[in-house]
Structure 1
Amino acid sequence: MQDYEDEKKYKLAKKRVDDERGFYTHLTFYIVINIIVLFINTNFESQGFKNWSQWHLYITPILWGIGLLFHGLKVFKNNFIFRKSWEERKIKELMDKDDTLDVL
């Protein structure tokens, strides 16, 4: 019975790691490809930064960014940084360190 529970926990943890790795891969591609697309579309060699005000250059990063946001929400739905449990954990961490608390 214990082996089954351990295997189930392992599979859930592995899926979580795979989901997070997938998100970070998605984020990496988003950054790299959008930088390349922006520099190609701005005709940087001949016009420099003069062409950055054209709205159509930002459609791909904005729409893809919305998709990336939803991907991140799906992956990290229970693990956002500033949740109540994070606050409690941080308070406990600071209380455990005597030197971090300033006495007024």
Structure 2
Amino acid sequence: MTDHSAKTDGARGRAVAVVAGILGWTGLIFAVILAAHVLLTIGGANPENGITTFVAEWADRLALAFRDLFDPADAKLRVLVNYGLAALFWLVVRSLVVRLVRRLG
């Protein structure tokens, strides 16, 4: 292996690690936002509070089709199940995408 080839492989490895890290953190942040929404809702946080509003708006975007997957009568249970499943979904997607990026890199 030439010196140039070794440098290229090292740079590529670092780039793959950076991309995998960014994707991993992004997926984790998505799951944390959804979990925070569940905790704020179940805990009875003030829906007019800026933090609660911010988290709820982002959680609605990140919940995708899980937002209304189940429709129990209890609103808190509905948030727990639907947004909790969305959080698990993002953790699984995160794991698969990071693994794929590392494998292809």
State the structure with more CA Rg: 1
Which structure has more relative contact order (CA 8 Å, sep 6+)? It is 2
Give me the TM-score of the superposition, normalised by structure 1. Answer: 0.48
